[in-house]
Structure 1
Amino acid sequence: MNILGLESLVFGVLDLDACHQYLLDYGLNLVEKNERGGTYQALDGGTVVFKLDTDPSLPKANAPAPNIRETVYGVADQTELDRIAAELSKDREVNVDQEGTIHSFDDSGFAIAFRITRKRKIVAPHVGINVPGQEPGRAMNECGVLLEGHSKTPRSLSHVVYFVPDHKKAEAFYADRLGFITTDRFINIGPFMRPAGLNEHHSLFLIQSFNPHMVGVNHFTFHFGSGYEVLRNGWEFAQKGYKSFWGPGRHIMGSNFFWYFNSPFGGTMEFDADMDLHDDNWTPRAMPMGSDTSQVFLFDQRKKWSPGE
């Protein structure tokens, strides 16, 4: 299967107003807002959609609200959609909606969907870094820090992370049935996986749940343009009163900069940038999960300070 990556994440929530404000403050662009919920979008067209948990149009829940209700992936064409539908129809129900999107469930009970991609080319300012010994990344007299007008909008939908009851069974489903590739793993915890049509380190991370009541979304995130954008936008997010959960820091698996915040979607939402890219020549690593393998460094947010104060 040549799945290209994430297209949309759909949530069943309890507080529509909180979700609207959260995503606006995070930096996503409003697409639709009504009495049933909303849709917010990154520069490439990747979206977050949310509705009240009781909305009958949502797929069946596999965990209490608020939580993720469907993960939507993109493919290049109808031929690929038909291949996926035929594969999944071998042992589970598959439905096709009026727009041609196919809907089903994975082996962990998460609703999954597939559609012809609606992603678009990202139009955004060039991000350049000046490194001694290399060609300059920015033009002469171009400042890396803009006091006004800096980019606040994420560029693309990055990844989603599930708590699953059986990480080996979950990994086998995505690998054997949908062609996902494991890039790295935490031993006895679960794999980082990318679909075959995407070279980013992961769009899916499966975490073993050791609590039968802990099933559902762990976190999700969009890619920003740089580590600077993660820090700058995360800082401004925190100043608006959102509670920092983890970060800022930089992961080892995937190398991405991160900053996680509590959210009204059932898990945390991350600011993310600069993820590793891998092809089929990459050899997956395996590490025990712990503080030394979860990040290469970690900072705590503090108030601004000046030597003159």
Structure 2
Amino acid sequence: MNILGPDTLHFGVEDVALCEQFLKDYGLEPVGDGRFEALDGTGVVIKHREDSSLPAWTLPTANMLRKTVYGVKDAATLESIKKEFEGEREVKTLADGSLELVDDVGFVLGFQVSNRKAHQLSAERVNAPGDIHRQKNKTGVDVATVGQAPKPRTLSHVVYFVPDADKAERFYTDRLGFRVSDRFVGMGPFLRPAGTFDHHTLFFIQTPAHLQGCEHFTFHMGGPSEVMQAGYAFAGKGYESYWGPGRHQFGSNWFWYFNTPMACHIEYDADMDQHDDEWSPREAPAIVDNSQIFLFDWREKWAPGGKPD
């Protein structure tokens, strides 16, 4: 099935204004009706938790993610998903033509023909001996305009706490055509759908049932310096860093996580590995050294007295 990846995450929250300001400060663009978008149109929708347009929350936690909507390549893919589940479980066709169903561990999923928009932004480039990309007559660092934080480019991935990671994996691989990229033994798999080479758009973490929900979600940035610049600006607005900045082992993507008012974490990430169907998944124990290649000790003051000369 030609599923591209997550297009939209729908949250039902208690304090709508607080969450909307948070996403705006993170770098997403408000486009109306509680929707906040990255540069390609993927994004997050914020509604009050009692809003009747949200799916009912039936899981035994206070988690605020109510629905994950995946973008698919075309109407034929949408139809194949409908046929896969019709007669077995309820498959709703909504007014906008998208599908809605519940996966095997209780998460509400949507599927729509993706509305992602193309953009012409280049990736960050680096110089190395014998491989020069930035010339001395050009800007020294590939970052956003000075004084402005770079914008998130696309919704990258979502991570779930689940009580049965094996059961969750079987649903997405056997029924939706996801492939395992790598695995943390005793924790869960990194998964990608057929429509992308990204190392993962989905990751499961085995936890007790009372914790089930969204652990974090993230948007891709243009490169590691954009992660640093956006994260530094976000921290400067008073938001609390949770983990990072650093770089992961599996996927080798750069990261910086922050706490959110949506009862989960949010991440800036960049430079994720790309894998085709020839890739053989790796397995490793779920320990810190296998999760991060290195971790910066972020600090606000970096010179004697707290100010540079």
Report the counterpart of residue 32 of structure 2 in structure 1.
32
Residues 261, 151 of structure 1: CA spacing in aligned structure 2 closer, same or farther, 3 A cutoff? closer
Match of 1:297 among 275, 294, 298: 294
Kindly report which structure 2 residues correspond to 1:242-257, keeping only aligned pairs within 5 A, or say none.
Answer: 242-257=239-254
Q: What are the Cα deviations for residues 180-214 of structure 1, in whole angstroms up to 9, with x where unaligned?
A: 000001001100000011100000001111x2210
User: In 1, Cα distance between the equivalents of 2:76 and 2:162?
Assistant: 30
Q: What are the Cα deviations for residues 233-287 of structure 1, in whole angstroms up to 9, with x where unaligned?
A: 1011111111111111100011110010000112100011000000011110001
Residues 295, 249 of structure 1: CA spacing in aligned structure 2 closer, same or farther, 3 A cutoff? same
Deviation at 1:149, TM superposition (A): 5.2
User: In 1, Cα distance between the equivalents of 2:135 and 2:149?
Assistant: 16
Match of 2:112 among 108, 111, 115: 115
Report the counterpart of residue 196 of structure 1 in structure 2.
194
Report the counterpart of residue 7 of structure 2 in structure 1.
7
Report the counterpart of residue 56 of structure 1 in structure 2.
52
Residues 214, 167 of structure 1: CA spacing in aligned structure 2 closer, same or farther, 3 A cutoff? same
Residues 270, 138 of structure 1: CA spacing in aligned structure 2 closer, same or farther, 3 A cutoff? farther
Match of 2:96 among 99, 107, 112: 99
Q: Is the 8 A contact 1:130 1:138 kept in 2?
A: no
User: In 1, Cα distance between the equivalents of 2:163 and 2:209?
Assistant: 7
Report the counterpart of residue 127 of structure 1 in structure 2.
124
Greater Cα shift, 132-141 or 229-238? 132-141
SS at match of 2:117: coil
Name stretches of at least 5 consecutive residues in structure 1 with no aligned partner. none
Number of residues of Structure 1 aligned to a counterpart in Structure 2: 304
Q: Is the 8 A contact 1:250 1:295 kept in 2?
A: yes
Q: Is the 8 A contact 1:251 1:257 kept in 2?
A: yes
Report the counterpart of residue 16 of structure 2 in structure 1.
16
Correspondence 1:186 to 2:184: yes
Name stretches of at least 5 consecutive residues in structure 2 with no aligned partner. none
Report the counterpart of residue 161 of structure 2 in structure 1.
163
User: In 2, Cα distance between the equivalents of 1:150 and 1:239?
Assistant: 13
Q: TM-score, normalised by structure 2?
A: 0.94
Q: Is the 8 A contact 2:219 2:267 kept in 1?
A: yes
Correspondence 1:84 to 2:78: no
Report the counterpart of residue 44 of structure 1 in structure 2.
40
User: In 2, Cα distance between the equivalents of 1:283 and 1:26?
Assistant: 35
User: In 2, Cα distance between the equivalents of 1:43 and 1:248?
Assistant: 23
Q: Is the 8 A contact 2:221 2:270 kept in 1?
A: yes
Deviation at 1:77, TM superposition (A): 1.5
Percentage of identical aligned residues: 49
Deviation at 1:133, TM superposition (A): 1.3
Report the counterpart of residue 174 of structure 1 in structure 2.
172
Q: What are the Cα deviations for residues 144-191 of structure 1, in whole angstroms up to 9, with x where unaligned?
A: 156725552111100000011100000000000000000001001100
Q: Is the 8 A contact 1:66 1:264 kept in 2?
A: no
User: In 1, Cα distance between the equivalents of 2:132 and 2:198?
Assistant: 25
User: In 2, Cα distance between the equivalents of 1:17 and 1:96?
Assistant: 30
Could you say what the CA RMSD is over the residues aligned between the two structures, in angstroms?
A: 1.6
Residues 146, 275 of structure 1: CA spacing in aligned structure 2 closer, same or farther, 3 A cutoff? closer
Kindly report which structure 2 residues correspond to 1:228-267, keeping only aligned pairs within 5 A, or say none.
Answer: 228-267=225-264
Report the counterpart of residue 206 of structure 1 in structure 2.
204
User: In 1, Cα distance between the equivalents of 2:180 and 2:144?
Assistant: 39
Q: Is the 8 A contact 1:129 1:138 kept in 2?
A: no
Q: TM-score, normalised by structure 1?
A: 0.94
Q: 1:32 is aligned with what amino acid?
A: G
Q: What are the Cα deviations for residues 73-115 of structure 1, in whole angstroms up to 9, with x where unaligned?
A: 1112211111101111242100001111000010010000101
Deviation at 1:42, TM superposition (A): 0.5
